[in-house]
Structure 1
Amino acid sequence: MFLATMGIGTWSAQNWVQDTDATERKTALRHIEAHEFIRSFLNDLPKVPSHYCRSSTSKQYLEPVFQSIADLHREYHRAAEEKMVRPLSSKVFTEEFKQQNLGLYHPKKDQCDTCCSFKAGNLAENEWQDHLLKKEEACAEIVQDKNKANDKTMVVCMDLQALFLCPSLKASALYYKTKLAVHNFTLYEMSTQNATCYVWHEGEGTLSASEFASCVINFLSEHKEHEEYILWSDGCGYQNHNSVLSNALLNFCMETKKVVTQKFLEEGHTQMECDSVHSVIKRRLRNQKIYVPAEYVALMKSARSKPNPYEVKYVDHTFFQDFTNLRLCRSICPGIKPGDPTDVRAIRYNINGTMDFKTQHSDDWRPKQQLRHTSSPAVTQLYTNSLKIEEMKYKHLQELKEVIPKDFHSFYDNLKH
């Protein structure tokens, strides 16, 4: 009846059905292939090392090459066309991006997690009020310290700038290759507005507490004309809030007979003057081609003109000292028994080897217990040789030499791996 109604023969109907099934199968296979290409594309993109991201998340972050999902989708679209794969829509691409628990690396968060959590109704008001009180106390304290800065008292803020990558070029070949990490740790003197930047790449040092302690102690040692130092920073554990740096500062105070006070801003509200230094450097680097880390140093030196250009120190592995063997204080936690406070907002290191602490900036100083007054081992070199980078990274850097002038090839050839 169907054949008679349509006026067709058996052979025509059977071929239509077979062609439809084959088309549907081909469409399904192309759809699967397109999704697999998205996964492969995202898997091949280099990720930022874990110490640049929040430790409380399992999300992986892409290197700071792409500014937005739309920017990333455009590169995926181009790569799919090169591989003769049908590119999928931005919506499908974004869903796959989220399913893989990926994120774009943004070094500075614009909003405080605690404040956002309260606004979303996920945090009790009393906890948020306590957070605001700590923020306001820290802001008032840092203003007061700025007014105290003079020839005898140096007030400094310090922070690590967002990750630099080398080489840094507008070339699609770089998207799928891991690059060399370059670090800039900045100390900013608030009274004179002078800034000192310590720059190194991962072939010369890592981001352990001893690296940062080496920079801080070197900076203080070059400004011994002062009698007292006040250091402001965020509470980042591996940078500023650790016993390695505390032991280094206490040892410095005992040797030089100077007093150092270390103070911490409230998490989520850590804006400091050294952020302006990083902003100026970032603008100077915009649209610049960087082939080797030394070119970052040259551009950073020219980021601010006279009379106060930035002092940029390009250091290698011989600069870093190992402070982990110092055991003058066991920990920086103010409490020694269960129930004692564990958070610390300020630490004062005294010339006689003692330490005082505050759990609120408005509190009075209290003595730190459990200090050792025995002689400590001498501070030694942290590294005896340059560091080895990962074999895959070395391979990628060798492949990237095709977009790097030959004058710079020897730098990448001499990297240990």
Structure 2
Amino acid sequence: MLPRLDMFKKVIFSQRISVFNESFVLLDKAKNQKTFACLWHDAIAGREKEEIVSSFNAFFLHYRDIKHFVLWVDNCSGQNKNWTLLSFLVYIVNSDAIAAVDICIKYFEPGHTFMSADSFHHQVELSLKKQKKTYDFDDFVTAVTKANSKKVEVKTMQCTDFFKWQDFSSQTNIKNIDLCLYLANITQIVANREFFSLKYKLTNNSDNIYEMNVLQNRILKKRLPSLKVFTSSCGVPRSKKETLLKNLKTIIPSNRLQFWKNLEE
């Protein structure tokens, strides 16, 4: 939550804004690459599936020359297991925006959900504590940049970085699959270039690979839709902004107060 000024009771009990950090952290520390962190706050956009998928899109565009992607993600059905994200995988791997041949997403089994991202988020927390006072979003970006021994690529998401990604699954096609398909049971999903279906496994260690043609027929015919970008930021309620300005004007420096004055309503 911003601002982060735990020493001021007036700030703690104020309605603050939320900031979001969708991080992509390397498993192999030896590689000469950095953690990629997408940052934004809820005056720009929320954290619905469209925003989460947009952060995946920013990550793939940043590493557009990579041929093969393998991502380990948690088993959150709302965030990492939904048809909008799976539709996006088919879209992005078949687009000219990246050079990827395939994208593989592996899901942790319940009870085994510790990820490299957890360690990175802990380092961000330590960076924030070291900073002591986080007045505005730029201060938060600075704290994230200094985490992980400064081996971080920060992407500050703007309104135009968010797209209205859609769910292109077909309930009719899903029901026609012989194997009773539940996203909760899937442990691995692969999207391949020049294929408009998805391959999946029900156990990570299994050799059994299944294929599902669950997208709408118009998509299966290789008719990718055009993207629709967000036309405006979410903004914050005027009453919330006015209350924040009232509570902060005597606490934070004037050069930091400018961020709150310019906050979109």
Q: Are residues 1:414 and 2:251 paired?
A: no
1:141-191 deviation digits (Å, cap 9, x = unpaired):
xxxxxxxxxxxxxxxxxxxxxxxx111111011232111111111001223
Q: How far apart, in 2, do the equivalents of 1:392 and 1:368 lie?
A: 49
Which is helix-richer, 1 or 2? 1
Which range moved further: 204-213 or 188-197?
188-197
RMSD (Å), alpha carbons: 2.3
Indicate which of 200, 217, 220 corresponds to 2:60. Answer: 220
1:26-84 deviation digits (Å, cap 9, x = unpaired):
xxxxxxxxxxxxxxxxxxxxxxxxxxxxxxxxxxxxxxxxxxxxxxxxxxxxxxxxxxx
Q: CA deviation at 1:380?
A: 1.6
- 2:149 counterpart SS class: coil
Q: Are residues 1:201 and 2:38 paired?
A: no
Q: Are residues 1:377 and 2:214 paired?
A: no
Q: CA deviation at 1:392?
A: 4.0
Q: CA deviation at 1:250?
A: 0.8
Q: Are residues 1:389 and 2:236 paired?
A: yes
Indicate which of 141, 151, 168 corresponds to 2:4. Answer: 168
Identity, % of aligned positions: 22
Q: How far apart, in 1, do the equivalents of 2:212 and 2:120 lie?
A: 35
Q: TM-score when scaled to structure 1? A: 0.55
> Contact conserved, 1:284 with 1:303, CA < 8 A, in 2?
yes
Residue of structure 2 in register with 1:314 after alignment: 156
1:294-349 deviation digits (Å, cap 9, x = unpaired):
1011122122336xx2111112212112211x62x337x97646981412111111
> Contact conserved, 1:264 with 1:346, CA < 8 A, in 2?
yes
- 2:63 counterpart SS class: coil
Indicate which of 341, 358, 380 corresponds to 2:201. Answer: 358
Q: How far apart, in 2, do the equivalents of 1:357 and 1:304 lie?
A: 33
> Contact conserved, 2:68 with 2:100, CA < 8 A, in 1?
no
> Contact conserved, 2:36 with 2:155, CA < 8 A, in 1?
yes
Indicate which of 175, 179, 187 corresponds to 2:16. Answer: 179
Flag the 1:317–1:238 CA change in 2: closer, same or farther, 3 A: farther
> Contact conserved, 2:67 with 2:101, CA < 8 A, in 1?
yes
Which range moved further: 215-224 or 171-180?
215-224
Q: How far apart, in 2, do the equivalents of 1:290 and 1:177 lie?
A: 15
Indicate which of 346, 351, 355 corresponds to 2:188. Answer: 346
1:371-405 deviation digits (Å, cap 9, x = unpaired):
33131320120x21222213442233122222122
Paired residues for 1:12-411 under 5 Å:
165-169=1-5, 170-191=7-28, 192=31, 194-255=34-95, 256=99, 258-286=101-129, 288-305=132-149, 309-324=151-166, 327=168, 329-330=169-170, 336=176, 340-342=180-182, 343-351=185-193, 352-363=195-206, 364-371=208-215, 372=217, 373-374=220-221, 375-381=223-229, 383-401=230-248, 402-411=250-259
Q: CA deviation at 1:217?
A: 1.9
Q: TM-score when scaled to structure 2? A: 0.84
Residue of structure 2 in register with 1:80 after alignment: none
Q: What is the letter of the counterpart of residue 183 of structure 1?
A: F
Flag the 1:187–1:260 CA change in 2: closer, same or farther, 3 A: same
Unmatched runs of 5 consecutive residues or more in structure 1: 1-164
Flag the 1:370–1:184 CA change in 2: closer, same or farther, 3 A: closer
What is the total number of aligned residue pairs between the two structures? 247
Which range moved further: 368-377 or 244-253?
368-377
> Contact conserved, 1:322 with 1:379, CA < 8 A, in 2?
yes
Q: How far apart, in 1, do the equivalents of 2:20 and 2:87 lie?
A: 23
Q: CA deviation at 1:207?
A: 0.3
1:272-292 deviation digits (Å, cap 9, x = unpaired):
111111111111111510110
Question: Which has the higher Rg, Structure 1 or Structure 2?
Answer: 1
Q: How far apart, in 2, do the equivalents of 1:303 and 1:234 lie?
A: 22
> Contact conserved, 2:15 with 2:240, CA < 8 A, in 1?
yes
- 2:54 counterpart SS class: helix
